[in-house]
Each structure stands twice: as C-alpha cells, then as structure tokens.
A and B are shown apart, each in its own frame.
Chain A
Amino acid sequence: MGKFQSWANEQWAPLQRAASWNPPFYRFFGSEHSQVPAGVRPLSGDESCRNLVRLIDTLDGDHPRPHVFRRCLSGMWGTGYRPSPGHEETFGTLASKAVKVADPKEAVAALAQYSPVSPPVTPRNAAPAPRQSSPTEVTFDGQVWAVKKEFVIQSEMRGVADLLDPMNWEQLAPFFKQTQRIDVQKTDAETGSWQGILKETVAFTWNSMTTQSFEAYLKIDYTVTKERVRADYSLEYEEGNQLIVDDGFGEARQVDGGIHYIGLKRLRFVSSILNLVAPAALCMFIESDEDGFRDVLEHKANAIAPPVTAGAKPITSPPK
C-alpha cells in the first residue's frame, strides 16, 4: 500500500472539491435554484462525473478516498441526478468502483443505501442495523448557521486523536489546503495537548469557474486525555475579512465498540450570497470530515474493502 494521499496542495483536490459541492447544493436547493447566483452554483451531475474520471485517471485508476468518493456519487444519485445518455456507462463504472459491486446497474442501485437523502429501507419487522452515523443536524439561531454530526468509528483512540489535532486537519477533507500552527501558548509533551493559533487555508471550488479561498487564523485549544480528545476552535480573524463567525469543536470519546465522534461547526460569512449557501456548505464540510476520518483510519489500519471483483469495467474518459 502506497503512502496515503493528503489533500493539502494536491493538484487533484479541486476536482474533488467541485464534484463534492453538487450533492449538498441540490439537497438544499433542488432543481429550483434559479435565484442562487451562478458563481456559487455547482457543476452539473455529468460535469461532476467527468471531474471524478479525470481525478481517477490522474492517479492509479482508483479513487484514493473511498468514503469521499462514495458519498459524492450516492449524494448525486440521491438528490435526483440521472446521467444523460452519453454518461450512463461512465456513471455505472464510477458506481462500480465506489461500492465495489461489479455489475454497473447493481452498483448504481446499491448507491442508494449510502445516500444521506434516501436512507436504506429496513424490511418490516426486521431489527434496525446499528447506526454508525447520525443524520447531519443543521440549526439557525437567527444569526449563525450551525451544523452537527455524530458518528462511531471502529478505531483506536490514538489514530483519531492524531487526526483531530488541528495541525492534521489538512488530511481530512479536500477543502483544507493548509493547516499550520503558527503560535503556541501552551503545550503538554506527555499528552500532545496544546493551545495556540492555527493558520487554516480553506478553499471552496463551487464550479469550474469559481474557487473561493479563506485564510483564517483560529484560536485553538486541543485537549487530549486517555478517554477523550477535543479540539475547540474559534475565529481570531480572516485575512480577507470574509468571515464573521467560524467556531466549533470536534470531540472523540472512547466507547464500547469504538470511538464516538461529535463535530459541531458554526459559521457566518460577511457575504449574504455565501450565507445563502452556508447550510449546504456546512453539511458538505462536516460530512467530508466524517469521510476523512474513515478513509484515513481505514487506510492506516490496512482494512480497505476488497478490490473490485471481475466484471467491473476499467474507467475511461467519457465523451466531452
């Protein structure tokens, strides 16, 4: 197994960022989005597929982040995307790779069970499967949007704690271009806890034309104990004065059967246009964090699902 790919400064990260914006956007705005300014509208589903194909072609013929990849495709399908005739085969092949099912039609059907919009149907009288991830909660207090996500990861605390360290956030999601500690007020060498300032460069690639970057300086309190780890953060300032509120926390607790994670993020942009899409962007952000944890930890545990079985077609670039 090769070295794990970090998102930071990767050339293919913008391709994933742009594709990842499609599902949450349509989840919130549906097809009636004519009042949303074009600058923050996502790629079409077909364009998103082409992005993903380019990404995979750039690498070793497989997506390096299985959970990110699967959520993206299942989200597109769940929010109503149906490939145009020229993209059906491409979408089927992508789906095969995403859910590790050889038959493209079966793979596309299987995507539904991963979609946050259309959860799997439990047969009548069947016991519900243990829930590994709660629905994403979005709230608005009249000023600030907040998003919360809880999930359980089968992992050791050590690995989760490393990823929760704000300095390592750039490994979690394609939106992090850089997370760098620039000031330390307090450290504990024994536990790894620290307090200080983090410079975080985050980029949203809304579509093929628009990428928006934020250089935020965050006050950090990263606390590590044996059973519980938490990273608290709040905005000090943002270089371009584009953010009013950006705070939250990620917390991991040791529970029976793994690690229980809670993430909460509160955000308010200066721009009213960005505040319009903030709930969708927040969902994308926090759900990508979940995928990031799963991808990195599974990769490190060498426990990635078996490769695609015989019959899956190699991916090829679709017609332009």
Chain B
Amino acid sequence: MPPEEPTTRSKLGTGVAEMLEKQRAQIPKPLLGIAVWNQVPHYDGNAGAAPAALCDLLRDVLDLSLDDALRIYTDRNAAPVVFPPYPDQVIIDAQYESHGSATECEATVQICVPAELDDVKRLTMHPPPWPCQPARDFFWSRVEAPEATRIPQVLNQPWSIKADLNLPEQAVQSVTLNVAKLADNAFESQLKFEMSANRLLTLCSGAITVMKEEGRPGAVRIINKRSVQVAPALAVDAAQLIKYWLQVETVCLALPS
C-alpha cells in the first residue's frame, strides 16, 4: 500500500476532528479523550498539519497543547501510553499487549485506578452485563439481557444475551453472547464470554477480571482480554479494531463519566 499523501491525511484528520467537535456533547468525556488521543500520532513530525479543531479538542478535553501531547506520546523512555493523560482522572498504571495478524488478534488491556472493588463489580456483574454495559451505544445496541433472577448464581454456569453489535461503518449485526462467571469473591470477580459466529466476526471471545490491587488499598485492577477473527466482510485491521474496542470498553468501566 503506497504511503498516504500528507494532504489526504490532513483532510481525513480534519474530517475526524470536525466530526468529534460536532458530536462532543453526545460522547462521554473519557471516550472523547481516547478518540482525540488516537489522532495525535498522525501528526508526529508534522505538527503544522494538525487541524485547528483537533488542537481545540486537545486543549478542551485533555488540557494539552499538540506539542505536549506529541511529547507524551512519543516519549521513548516511557512505556507506551495506553490511555490519554486525563486532567481530572487518576490512572495508576495501564498496559496493553497484543499479538496476531490483520485478520486474527488477541489483546489484553490492564488498567489500575483508585476505586472500590464493589463499585467496579457493580458495572461488570449486573445486567445488562459486561461486555455490553460499558460501551453501550458505541459497540453495542439493543441489548436483551435476562432478568437478574435468571442469571445463575453459581460459577461456570453460562447464560445467554442477545445483542446488536455495532462496529464502525458497518450495518448492525445481531449476535448471541454466552456469558459465564468464573470467580466472584471479596478479592476479585471474573467473567468470560463467547460470541456466536456472524457475518462480521467469525470468532470473538474474551474475559474480564476485576481485582483488588495488591499492596494498594483503595485501588482496583481491571484486566480485559479479547480474541477476534474478522470475517472478509469486515474490511478492518483486527489489531486496530480490538485495541479501540478494548480501550473504549475498559475506560468506561474504569472511569465512568
């Protein structure tokens, strides 16, 4: 694939920034932060081409100039910055790992934030349960979860959710998720899910763990793991899709707006 022309990239970037600017009132702040943050590396070495709308969003949402954002993003001495440096939120630690190809990818995002385990568990364990709850209206819509009383209270007993999957630039896809609780105690809770094969994803499964952070009273670690295999109909890079998906979902759990 030939390198993208700077003018094309600039036009695309302007379009994205203007779209975000128009819809900012409807987008939760942590998600807006990710969307803006993911635009930053496109202007590494070419800050002059950054659209004014992006600079305005960076200033308003993350309290950063483009130069500062680029400096943080490209600091080679630091670990990769998984989440943007939100000005009003504390992220103690975050990591992202992935491996795979353009069609298959497995990735894990971890984030440690000041929070009580019970509060985070409430987001993951109550219907409509993870993974639909946090990123609802972004990756999911029309979630039909069973009533709480129909969810098994024992470990490893699966239950089903019908939902509409809403991937970027794709028609809505109805799917069934089989969800099971693997652990639930005073230290941690863990859920896994498997999605039925469909037109967009031939394979999608994952697990989420929320746990008290060792040696840090009042902090919680969220580990969100996912594997996807994209179908030919979904012409997107699996690694890019899974990263954005996990970022959005995890930030909604960790930093509820």
Interface residues on B, range: 10 to 19
A interface size (C-beta, 8 A): 20
Interface string of B87-127 (1 = CB under 8 A from A): 00000000000000000000000000000000000000000
Q: Is B187 a contact partner of A219 (Cβ separation < 8 A)?
A: no
B185 contacts the other chain (CB 8 A): yes
* A311 CB to nearest chain B CB (Å): 48
A264 contacts the other chain (CB 8 A): yes
Would you list which residues of chain A between 163 and 210 have a CB under 8 Å from chain B? Answer: 191, 193, 195
> CA–CA, A310 to B216, complex, Å?
51
> CA–CA, A293 to B214, complex, Å?
21
B186 contacts the other chain (CB 8 A): yes
List, in ascending order, chain B residues with CB within 8 A of A233's CB.
Answer: 215, 217
Chain A residue, CB-CB nearest to B217: A221
Q: Is B187 a contact partner of A247 (Cβ separation < 8 A)?
A: no
Q: Is A264 a contact partner of B214 (Cβ separation < 8 A)?
A: yes
Q: Is A247 a contact partner of B216 (Cβ separation < 8 A)?
A: yes
Q: Is B215 a contact partner of A223 (Cβ separation < 8 A)?
A: no
Q: Is B187 a contact partner of A228 (Cβ separation < 8 A)?
A: yes
> CA–CA, A230 to B213, complex, Å?
11
List, in ascending order, chain A residues with CB within 8 A of B226's CB.
Answer: none
A241 contacts the other chain (CB 8 A): no
A29 contacts the other chain (CB 8 A): no
B168 contacts the other chain (CB 8 A): no
List, in ascending order, chain A residues with CB within 8 A of B6's CB.
Answer: none
Q: Is B217 a contact partner of A230 (Cβ separation < 8 A)?
A: no
Q: Is B217 a contact partner of A220 (Cβ separation < 8 A)?
A: yes
Q: Is B214 a contact partner of A223 (Cβ separation < 8 A)?
A: no
> CA–CA, A193 to B118, complex, Å?
14
List, in ascending order, chain A residues with CB within 8 A of B212's CB.
Answer: 221, 223, 230, 232
* B74 CB to nearest chain A CB (Å): 22
Would you list which residues of chain A between 132 and 185 have a CB under 8 Å from chain B? Answer: none
A242 contacts the other chain (CB 8 A): no
Q: Is B186 a contact partner of A234 (Cβ separation < 8 A)?
A: no
Q: Is A232 a contact partner of B215 (Cβ separation < 8 A)?
A: yes
List, in ascending order, chain B residues with CB within 8 A of A251's CB.
Answer: 214
> CA–CA, A46 to B122, complex, Å?
60
> CA–CA, A248 to B217, complex, Å?
9
> CA–CA, A191 to B217, complex, Å?
18
A317 contacts the other chain (CB 8 A): no
Q: Is B217 a contact partner of A234 (Cβ separation < 8 A)?
A: yes
Task: Identify which of A230, A264, A266 gathers the most chain B CB atoms within 10 Å of its CB.
Answer: A230
Q: Is B187 a contact partner of A249 (Cβ separation < 8 A)?
A: no
Q: Is B215 a contact partner of A264 (Cβ separation < 8 A)?
A: yes
Q: Is B217 a contact partner of A232 (Cβ separation < 8 A)?
A: yes
Chain A residue, CB-CB nearest to B185: A225
List, in ascending order, chain A residues with CB within 8 A of B216's CB.
Answer: 232, 234, 247
> CA–CA, A247 to B212, complex, Å?
14
Q: Is B218 a contact partner of A223 (Cβ separation < 8 A)?
A: no
Q: Is B215 a contact partner of A247 (Cβ separation < 8 A)?
A: yes
Q: Is A219 a contact partner of B215 (Cβ separation < 8 A)?
A: no
List, in ascending order, chain B residues with CB within 8 A of A224's CB.
Answer: 186
List, in ascending order, chain B residues with CB within 8 A of A247's CB.
Answer: 215-216
> CA–CA, A191 to B185, complex, Å?
12
> CA–CA, A312 to B42, complex, Å?
80
> CA–CA, A221 to B215, complex, Å?
9
Q: Is A230 a contact partner of B218 (Cβ separation < 8 A)?
A: no
Would you list which residues of chain B between 202 and 218 have a CB under 8 Å from chain A? Answer: 212-218
* B168 CB to nearest chain A CB (Å): 39
* A303 CB to nearest chain B CB (Å): 31
* A187 CB to nearest chain B CB (Å): 13
List, in ascending order, chain A residues with CB within 8 A of B215's CB.
Answer: 232-234, 247-249, 264, 266
Task: Identify which of B213, B215, B218 gathers the most chain A CB atoms within 10 Å of its CB.
Answer: B215
List, in ascending order, chain B residues with CB within 8 A of A225's CB.
Answer: 185-187
> CA–CA, A288 to B35, complex, Å?
51
Chain B residue, CB-CB nearest to A233: B217
* A249 CB to nearest chain B CB (Å): 5
Chain B residue, CB-CB nearest to A197: B217
Q: Is A249 a contact partner of B186 (Cβ separation < 8 A)?
A: no
> CA–CA, A249 to B187, complex, Å?
13
* B227 CB to nearest chain A CB (Å): 29
Q: Is B218 a contact partner of A221 (Cβ separation < 8 A)?
A: yes
* A236 CB to nearest chain B CB (Å): 10
Q: Which 4 A-B pairs have the closest CB atoms?
A: A221-B217, A249-B215, A219-B217, A232-B217
A-B contact pairs, 10 of them (CB 8 A): A191-B186, A219-B218, A221-B212, A224-B186, A228-B185, A230-B187, A232-B215, A232-B216, A234-B215, A247-B215
